[in-house]
């Protein structure tokens, strides 16, 4: 389980860097060794909250270490425990601008990993993927059209069409967001009726993540 349960301002391991993109600026949170392979981590619909920061710290410590960074797509706004607010933030997101924020942070994509999400084809068509892709889904995920099993299987077919190396893993008995294990988020998930607590699946997914990124991002 994650040994991280949120960060206090005085002890945050992150360096905050401001990025200029066209006529807008946004913050990016960075952690890890300066000379390590870089991984851009995309926030969930809550924004850059304590849980996505937990994940990024975990990623930076995997294997020989990675340099992990999170672009703040919501420009400082966070949904926290309010589902309605998180939905409002995502519905109001400038998706084309968000893609520009993300793509502006990298020079070349060596590999990608998705957790319980399939992108809209107009933003990122998996059939046109150029880098190896690994994806993880919960068998009981009920977000129709976004991350349920049918979407996962459709993603696998599109990745086959792309010709890139790929893996699509479906975890029996797990629902959406099963990787989120901090105390605060477990309570938030329970409040939403999401009661899966399969630590073995979490550890298996992290092992697959580490193996995939270590293999494809080795210098």
> Is the pLDDT score of 105 beyond 60?
yes
Least confident of 18-27, 56-65, 126-135, 188-197: 188-197
Tokens of 180: 């989120």
Least confident of 105-109, 144-148, 160-164, 178-182: 105-109
97 and 195: one domain?
A: no
pLDDT at 84: 84
Strand order in the sheet with 166-171: 112-115, 133-138, 166-171
Least confident of 26-35, 65-74, 77-86, 171-180: 77-86
Q: For residue 20, report the phi and psi dihedrals to the nearest 5 degrees.
A: -100, 125
Angle at 134 between CA 184 and CA 119, to 5 degrees: 75
- What's the domain count of the chain? 2
As a whole number, mean pLDDT of residues 18-22 equals 91
User: For 38-84, what is each residue's pLDDT tens digit?
Assistant: 999 999 988 999 889 999 999 999 999 999 999 999 999 998 767 78
Which of 135-139, 140-144, 189-193 is the most confident on average?
135-139
E-strand ranges in 90-199 read: 112-115, 133-138, 166-171
114 and 215: one domain?
A: yes
66 and 33: one domain?
A: yes
As a whole number, mean pLDDT of residues 148-170 equals 97
Largest distance between two CA atoms of the chain: 48
130 and 215: one domain?
A: yes
Domain boundaries, position 133: 110-219
116 and 60: one domain?
A: no
Q: How many CB atoms lie within 10 A of CB 112?
A: 21
- In the listed set 81, 107, 133, which residue is the last one of a domain according to the structure? 107
Do residues 112 and 134 lie in contact, with contact meaning Cβ atoms separated by under 8 Å? yes
């Amino acid at each position: 389980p994650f040994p991280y349960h949120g960060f206090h301002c005085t002890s945050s391991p992150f360096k905050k860097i401001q990025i200029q993109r066209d006529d807008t600026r946004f913050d990016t949170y960075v952690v890890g060794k300066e000379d390590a392979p870089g991984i851009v981590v995309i926030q969930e619909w809550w924004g850059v909250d304590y849980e996505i920061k937990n994940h990024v710290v975990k990623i930076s410590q995997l294997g020989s270490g990675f340099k992990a960074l999170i672009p703040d797509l919501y420009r400082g706004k966070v949904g926290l425990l309010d589902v309605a607010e998180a939905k409002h933030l995502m519905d109001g997101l400038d998706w084309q601008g968000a893609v520009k924020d993300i793509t502006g942070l990298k020079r070349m994509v060596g590999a990608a990993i998705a957790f319980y999400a399939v992108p809209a084809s107009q933003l990122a068509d998996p059939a046109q993927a150029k880098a190896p892709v690994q994806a993880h889904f919960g068998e009981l995920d009920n977000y129709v059209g976004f991350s349920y099993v049918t979407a996962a299987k459709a993603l696998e077919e599109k990745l086959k069409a792309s010709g890139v190396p790929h893996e699509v893993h479906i975890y029996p008995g797990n629902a959406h967001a099963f990787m989120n294990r901090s105390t605060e988020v477990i309570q938030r998930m329970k409040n939403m009726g999401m009661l899966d607590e399969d630590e073995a699946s979490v550890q298996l997914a992290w092992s697959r993540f580490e193996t995939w990124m270590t293999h494809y991002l080795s210098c």
